[in-house]
Amino acid sequence: MSKIILKETNEMKELNDCTAEPSVELMAITPGAEDVIERACRTCYLSFHRYDPPNSTAELITKVIQKKHHSVLEHASATFRIKGGSRVFTHELVRHRFISPSQESQRYVCYADKADRKKTKDYQFIIPATVENAGWPDKSSSAAEEYRKTALICYALYEKLLDAGVPPEDARYILPNATISEIVITANFRELRHFFCVRTHPRAHWEIRVIAIEMLRIMKKEAPIVFNDFEINEEEISASFKYET
């Protein structure tokens, strides 16, 4: 597993070194989401005489997914708060243009106490497992140690830039992609199915895949019909599906 490193003081001492476990919180979801989808779909055919939940709900939603009539899935949506992901992860996430993001701003969030402003939060960064396990030609050090040292050097320069009067919006340029960033996203069920199809694939980057799997667990519980065809592989931390969206 990768590691989250927490840095808090000017002395560049490592205060906390823990296994990275990003957290995914479901903040909101369309009430009675699958019923909303069924009733919206039946409007197309005025087939309310067949409305007999929960059996009719499962039958109709399964059929429209099989036939790729995905537009009706857009009537339901979910909102998530994601913590513990890096800016590498969030850069990949916001490429999904039908996911609406609200992300921690490094312009307004400050990672150091200064005379004219208080620190908003601690500076944190992720060390990938591949770095932790990498060989290193210099036997007096390691890939992880050099990585950690460089990330902390970046932070030290960030602090010096703030001391020199550089505003956080410009000092942030020196911070690495590994920096932890909180984000809230909203997406309709059609987009969530597409997101899970591409981001839980074994070839997807490990960080977004781990977080996508946690989101998928939630959606399989909250909307079991819409996400029924997704199967999670716990060993590979990936998922497969029957119907592409």
CB 58 within 8 A of CB 64: no
* DSSP letters spanning 69-90: -GGGGGG-EEEEEEES-BHHHH
Known catalytic residue at 203: no
For residue 217, how many other CB atoms are within 10 A of its CB? 15
Catalytic residue among 87, 190, 199, 209: 199
Residue with tokens 């850069």: 91
Nearest in space to 80 (alpha carbons), one of 201, 222, 176: 222
Contacts of 142 (CB under 8 A, 6+ apart): 134, 136
Active-site residues: which are they?
199
